[in-house]
């Protein structure tokens, strides 16, 4: 194949060594001989180029183990007889972590795994690079020498580039036994289970998102021309993002706009651009340079345990995809050209928010992504657009074809591919039942939430983004019981300045249209990392430096936020909720800080809130023993049931191995909650509860029986919970339940269900 900028007359001494090598590598790959022979020739070629005494290729099998498939220098009898378990040895470590390993004396490394059948005991220096394709590790490419030496950066570059080319050869299927992608029957149905990103149920037909751009031209003699091509493509990329920001439905403020602003920042990132230009200077084409940096980014994604940073790396990955399309002459994704069916279900390996916004959103019913997560940017946009979405749906792209019928159950996280007639009928019935149920709940929207025995109950929604606020009116809720202010910080690339925060909080209050909003101050730290906030590594971040602890140690954060909230609510009641309070001293410190900001506002003659009400979340079990000291210091209380019960049982509710230890309707849970209710009554303090149990009719019923009269939940739960309340005699339940809680043991879930059924409660 003629390479970009190549000499059609053949190789010449003036051509770079890497270019000559790549040409020879391509010739071997095109050789009609069998796959094993080609691999044998490839390792021989690499060893010669790098003056290495050993070059080996280990490929990943279907079970995740690594098999020695070809070698130059090791014992030939070890080929297909040497296997490494997942993570075993330096080779396994390279594959598991998707990292380059460069060791001057491999045998002294603690991870070294000696295999006598290979005869490698005489070799010391060791260089291994992962063979990556689309973020997946296909195998490991290694070189070794007898001398103790660390391989040069140039050697690493050559081996990494070779691995990139080798990956394309492997996925062609020409090498038998390679795990180049799972094989699935295209005629039978499959169920893929993922993670819900945006609730809903959608039935439709598959539209595959953006086929991958395959880079075939890797090297060039003209780096200046390649840099010009890259610069032009980057400018086009920036312009396309600016155009999206100017679209009518995206021009207004909101989290979806914040996401695109983050994209724009990454498109201007000098470090990202420099890495691509460096690769071009070493002889790569612009496309190969982009893919090379993209592979590095994907390898970092594989190693990154922090969800926030994984999302940022995904942003860079998605920008690289868009840049490759521009360089390949496909500047607009096929989203701009494809005629979408009216019931489109988009299926993608990965997708960024900008890609989703390229499509005709009026025709998209659902979204399925292999690589995503609830905190990802595309999830935020999907929720804003009301699209049922499932992420982490591993292997879904391999299982579908364009136009396949598909069902997305984003409530459970299930995706049904080519469903049978029975499954379609069942989900059709479910969709119709869901529609009838929603009509019933909509009919209750404006009906007062009053129980059968005449007790008024306050139903509030949880929110955290501006795009959540329309749910307040749509659900008929009485207010926002918990506004998670940290979510806005998490979708911002930089710390929002006070003016931006003030604008956002003012928009929230305006959208509330006079209904109360409880603003929880920043609950960051732990698993909610901010890129612009340096935090130490912690062994147990959930119990570490987070929430009010972090805010009091970094008072500038809390003071700026409080100042913005004060300025955003002139003439209004401002309700502030302090997260994860563990001692009364923390309340005193936070209140003093808030009062200083109020005094500063008065001294500057600025418009102030009518009242500032300060509350705290009860999430830490230690507070159960200080309630009488704690409550008088506050204007209201809110129980954070998710964390309180998780800490009470020392059990992660999302960990399937210990989830059975965690039940909100156990006697221990209900006694803890009853203790809080009784203390709030003694001190005359308003009390609410926000958490998952508030949104489940049976568990919400138990809360009312204990004495809670205000609960806050996801907007979608308002209808079912209101329907339950309208059919409930709260006083009768309370008389029965409180006695049970005081005297029973174990779990009351079954007894509560029986009570509800006996008394005609709609649960």
Cβ atoms < 10 Å from Cβ of 450: 14
All residues at 6 or more sequence positions from 235 whose CB lies less than 8 Å from its CB, including other chains: none
Candidates 13, 31, 22; CA nearest to 288 is 22
Distance between CA atoms of 319 and 377, rounded to whole angstroms? Answer: 13
Candidates 366, 365, 389, 385; CA nearest to 376 is 389
Considering only the C-alpha atoms of the chain, give the largest distance between any 2 of them, rounded to a whole number of Å: 95
Report yes or no: 71 and 56 within 8 Å, Cβ to Cβ: yes
Cβ atoms < 10 Å from Cβ of 291: 25
Strands 710-713 and 517-520, sheet pairing:
unpaired
- 3-state secondary structure at position 119: coil
Question: If you search the block for the tokens 């002294």, which residue do you land on?
Answer: 108
Is 256 catalytic? The answer is no
Distance between CA atoms of 25 and 3, rounded to whole angstroms? Answer: 12
> Taking the alpha carbons of 523, 528, 532, 537 in that order, is the dihedral positive or negative?
positive
Report yes or no: 347 and 364 within 8 Å, Cβ to Cβ: no
Q: Which two tokens stand for residue 266?
A: 């990454």
Question: If you search the block for the tokens 């339950």, which residue do you land on?
Answer: 724
Question: Which residue of the set 209, 256, 377, 416 is catalytic?
Answer: 377
Question: Which residue of the set 124, 169, 209, 690 is catalytic?
Answer: 690
Strands 388-391 and 66-72, sheet pairing:
unpaired
Q: Which two tokens stand for residue 660?
A: 């059975």
Report yes or no: 414 and 191 within 8 Å, Cβ to Cβ: yes
Distance between CA atoms of 315 and 376, rounded to whole angstroms? Answer: 9
Report yes or no: 394 and 370 within 8 Å, Cβ to Cβ: yes
Distance between CA atoms of 376 and 23, rounded to whole angstroms? Answer: 41
Is 94 catalytic? The answer is no
Give the bridge partners for 584, in sequence order.
Answer: none
Element (H, E) at 391: strand 388-391
- 3-state secondary structure at position 457: coil
Active site residues: 377, 690
């Amino acid at each position: 194949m003629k390479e970009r900028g190549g000499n059609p007359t053949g190789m010449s001494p003036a051509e770079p060594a890497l270019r000559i090598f790549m040409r020879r590598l391509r010739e071997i790959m095109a050789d009609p001989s069998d796959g094993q022979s080609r691999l044998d020739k490839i390792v021989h070629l690499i060893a010669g180029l790098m003056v290495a005494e050993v070059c080996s290729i280990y490929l990943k099998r279907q079970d995740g183990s690594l098999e020695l498939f070809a070698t130059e220098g090791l014992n030939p009898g070890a080929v297909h007889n040497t296997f490494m378990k997942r993570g075993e040895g330096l080779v396994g470590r390279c594959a598991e972590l998707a990292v380059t390993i460069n060791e001057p004396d491999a045998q002294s490394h603690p991870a070294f795994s000696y295999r006598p059948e290979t005869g490698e005991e005489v070799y010391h220096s060791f260089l291994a690079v992962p063979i990556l394709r689309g973020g997946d590790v296909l195998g490991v490419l290694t070189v070794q020498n007898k001398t103790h030496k660390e391989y040069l950066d140039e050697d690493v570059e050559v081996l990494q580039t070779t691995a990139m080319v080798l990956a394309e050869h492997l996925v062609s299927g020409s090498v038998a036994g390679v795990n180049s992608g799972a094989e699935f029957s295209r005629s039978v149905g499959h169920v893929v289970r993922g993670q819900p990103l945006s609730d809903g149920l959608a039935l439709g037909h598959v539209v595959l998102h953006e086929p991958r751009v395959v880079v075939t031209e890797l090297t060039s003699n003209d780096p200046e021309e390649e840099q010009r091509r890259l610069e032009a493509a980057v400018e086009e990329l920036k312009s396309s993002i600016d155009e999206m920001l100017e679209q009518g439905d995206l021009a207004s403020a909101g989290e979806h706009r914040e996401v695109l602003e983050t994209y724009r920042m990454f498109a201007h990132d000098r470090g990202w651009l420099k890495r691509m230009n460096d690769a071009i200077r070493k002889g790569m084409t612009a496309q190969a340079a982009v893919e090379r940096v993209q592979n590095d980014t994907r390898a970092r994604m594989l190693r990154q345990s922090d969800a926030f940073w994984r999302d940022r790396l995904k942003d860079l990955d998605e920008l690289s995809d868009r840049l490759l399309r521009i360089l390949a002459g496909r500047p607009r994704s096929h989203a701009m050209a494809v005629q979408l069916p009216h019931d489109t279900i988009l299926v993608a390996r990965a997708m960024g928010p900008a890609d989703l916004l390229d499509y005709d959103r009026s025709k998209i019913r659902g979204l399925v992504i292999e690589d995503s997560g609830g905190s990802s940017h595309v999830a935020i946009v999907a929720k804003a657009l009301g699209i049922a979405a499932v992420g982490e749906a591993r292997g879904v792209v391999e299982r579908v074809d364009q136009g396949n019928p598909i069902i997305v159950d984003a409530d459970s996280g299930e995706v049904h591919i080519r469903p049978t007639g029975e499954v379609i009928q069942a989900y059709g019935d479910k969709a119709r039942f869901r529609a009838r149920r929603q009509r019933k709940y909509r009919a209750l929207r404006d009906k007062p939430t009053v129980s059968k025995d005449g007790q008024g109950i306050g139903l509030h929604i949880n929110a955290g983004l501006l795009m959540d606020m329309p749910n307040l009116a749509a659900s008929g809720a009485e207010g926002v019981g918990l506004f998670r202010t940290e979510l806005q910080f998490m979708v911002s690339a930089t710390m929002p300045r006070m003016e931006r925060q003030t604008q956002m909080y003012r928009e929230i209050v305006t959208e509330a249209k006079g209904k109360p909003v409880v603003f929880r101050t920043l609950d960051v730290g732990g698993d909610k990392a901010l890129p612009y906030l340096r935090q130490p590594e912690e062994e147990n971040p959930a119990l570490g430096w987070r929430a009010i602890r972090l805010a009091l140690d970094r008072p500038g954060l809390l003071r700026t936020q409080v100042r913005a909230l004060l300025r955003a609510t002139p003439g209004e009641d401002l309700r502030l909720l302090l997260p994860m309070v563990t001692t009364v001293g923390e309340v005193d410190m936070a209140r003093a800080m808030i009062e200083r900001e109020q005094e500063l506002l008065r001294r500057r003659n600025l418009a102030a809130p009518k009242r500032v009400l300060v509350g705290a979340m009860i999430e830490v079990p230690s507070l159960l023993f200080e309630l009488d000291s704690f409550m008088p210091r506050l204007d209201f209380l809110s129980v954070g049931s998710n964390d309180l019960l998780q800490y009470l049982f020392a059990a992660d509710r999302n960990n399937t191995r210990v989830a059975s230890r965690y039940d909100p309707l156990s006697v221990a849970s209900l006694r803890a909650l009853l203790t809080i209710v009784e203390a709030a009554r003694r001190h005359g303090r308003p009390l609410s509860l926000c958490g998952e149990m508030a949104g489940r009719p049976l568990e919400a019923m138990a809360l009312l029986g204990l004495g809670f009269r205000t609960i806050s939940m996801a907007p979608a739960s308002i209808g079912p919970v209101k329907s339950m309340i309208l059919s409930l005699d709260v006083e009768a339940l309370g008389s029965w339940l409180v006695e049970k809680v005081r005297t029973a043991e174990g779990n009351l879930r079954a007894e509560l269900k029986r009570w509800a059924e006996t008394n005609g409660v709609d649960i």
